[in-house]
Amino acid sequence: MHTKITKLKQLNLIANTIRQDVIKMLHEAKSGHSAGSLGLADIFTALYFNIIYHDPNNPQWEGRDRLILSNGHVCPVLYATLANVGYFPKTELMTLRKLGSALQGHPHKGALPGIETSSGPLAQGLSQAVGMAIVSKSEKKKWRVYCIVSDGEQQEGQNWEAVMLAAKYKLGNLTVIMDRNNIQIDGFTEEIMPLEPIVDKYKAFGWHIIQIDGHNIQKIIDACEESKAVYEKPTMIIMHTIPGRGIPFMEFLTEWHGKTPSKEEAEKAMEILLESKKEIENEV
């Protein structure tokens, strides 16, 4: 099984490498989603390098935790993480969105080791995750289900059907992580279709709620640990993130939802990330 990395500094360095890979891949592909992919780098690092039980050398290991990515358009961060943790060679990352590549613009189950479900049509992932968690619970298995969802997905009816079902079956083995970055394709969530008060809504549906900074790897790890100790309720961890995190000229801007960096922008982004890498290395 994959050895868990526990040192925070090492995890922050991995998140930095993943951001670099995301920039290179998206620049090379010339299409894809930058904001969400960069915003989720710390969460993906924490999950694959510390939180979930899995084995890159045996992707089908029956006892693995299942990680479902529902908002499939942020798959550059999934692909970069899977390659960095050892599921496939990093050289494949540069084939993103190319004809015949296993790294399509949305994840394709079966095309690549480590991909649990195909996704792209939004708000379906939670239903799949709930189904898997019901199986694990009814068969008394130890494996947990983690599901990453976006805030834009909360606007869809299917999400709330799955939310009700998870509460009905008291799915304590289900941890859902929401990328609360406040943006969606056309603007800010609160302008397009307000979600607040989102915590009250999940509480009313019978879920355990945690809210944290989605860029603090230690807090991400602690929140997932807390969710494991809640046996009778599913957990929603609302992770507050910054879209485009790490590259100041991309941060908070909805236009980067589905835009890729030009040559100059990619070069500038790489400079910024190498500078951040030095800062992490110099931290005591």
Least distance (Å) from ligand TPP to the CB of residue 257? 4
Choose the contact partner of 120 out of ligand TPP, Mg ion, none; CB within 5 to 8 A by kind. Answer: ligand TPP
Tell which phi-psi region holds residue 105, choosing left (phi > 0), alpha (psi between -120 and 50) or beta.
alpha
CA dist 123 and 126 (Å) reads: 7
Q: How many residues bind Mg ion (CB under 5 A)?
A: 5
Cβ neighbours of 157 (radius 10 Å): 7
Choose the contact partner of 65 out of ligand TPP, Mg ion, none; CB within 5 to 8 A by kind. Answer: none
Burial class (CB in 10 A: 0-12, 13-18, 19+), 280: middle
34 binds ligand TPP (CB under 6 A): no
**Residue from 14, 21, 36, 132 in contact with ligand TPP (CB under 6 A):** 36
CA dist 241 and 53 (Å) reads: 24
Burial 196-228 (b: 16+ CB within 10 A, else e): eebeebbeebebbbbebebbbbebbbebbeebe
Least distance (Å) from ligand TPP to the CB of residue 158? 9
Choose the contact partner of 73 out of Mg ion, ligand TPP, none; CB within 5 to 8 A by kind. Answer: ligand TPP
C-alpha 96 chain-centroid distance: 18
CA dist 145 and 98 (Å) reads: 31
Applying the rule CB under 6 A, the residues between 187 and 246 that interact with ligand TPP are 243
Q: Which residue is nearest to ligand TPP (CB)?
A: 152
When the beta carbons of 105 and 113 are compared against Mg ion, the nearer one is 105
The stretch among 58-66, 92-100, 129-137, 179-187 that binds ligand TPP (CB under 6 A) is 179-187
Rounded to 10 degrees, what is the CA torsion of 130, 131, 133, 136? Answer: 170
Q: Choose among 87, 235, 258: nearest CA to 170.
A: 235
Q: Choose among 222, 226, 239, 125: nearest CA to 172.
A: 226
Tokens representing residue 114 in the block: 């480590």
Q: How many residues bind ligand TPP (CB under 6 A)?
A: 19
**Residue from 118, 175, 184, 260 in contact with ligand TPP (CB under 6 A):** 184
Least distance (Å) from ligand TPP to the CB of residue 231? 30
Applying the rule CB under 5 A, the residues between 138 and 167 that interact with Mg ion are 150-152
Least distance (Å) from Mg ion to the CB of residue 183? 5
Q: Choose among 31, 218, 202: nearest CA to 106.
A: 31
Applying the rule CB under 6 A, the residues between 66 and 125 that interact with ligand TPP are 71, 73-74, 120-122
When the beta carbons of 172 and 214 are compared against ligand TPP, the nearer one is 214
Interacting residues toward ligand TPP by CB under 6 A: 33, 35-36, 71, 73-74, 120-122, 150-153, 181, 183-185, 243, 257
Interacting residues toward Mg ion by CB under 5 A: 150-152, 181, 183
